[in-house]
Amino acid sequence: MNGTLTLYHGTSKQNSEIINSNGIFNEGSYFSVSKGGTEFGDSPISVAKRKHGKDGIVIDIEVDARGLETAAAGSEIYAPEKLIRQEDNVWTSYGVKNRQQLIDIWNKLGDI
């Protein structure tokens, strides 16, 4: 077990392209633990279609579980801080832990 979760995020095709190109989920993003939804929550595709119509899609990502919170009776996961995609394609909290991480974040943002 590596401490990551597979999570699902309903969004639009356009937003998906932005997320994939800049490698950042904004703070306050919500995710589902199940692509098909849970007993207490809609499926990510249902949410995406409700918000974005026919352009609604689902992104699946691997996330470092540290820094995440549960919401909606545990049927959703909430990221209170930004998530950044790392080189190994695992998304982690944006919080800066040391100087080198700050330099790496700055360099990554400069590529946007």
Compute the distance between CA of residue 50 and CA of residue 65 in angstroms, rounded to an integer.
27
Q: Give the Cβ contact number of residue 54 at 10 Å.
A: 8
Gap between the Cα atoms of 18 and 84, Å rounded? 13
Q: Residue 31 carries which side chain, given as an amino acid letter?
A: F
- pTM, two decimals, is 0.77
Q: What is the pLDDT along the chain (112 residues), one digit of tens a residue?
A: 577 889 999 999 999 999 999 899 998 999 988 888 766 667 888 888 889 999 999 999 999 988 888 886 667 889 998 898 988 899 998 555 555 666 776 777 766 5
- pLDDT for the residue numbered 99: 59
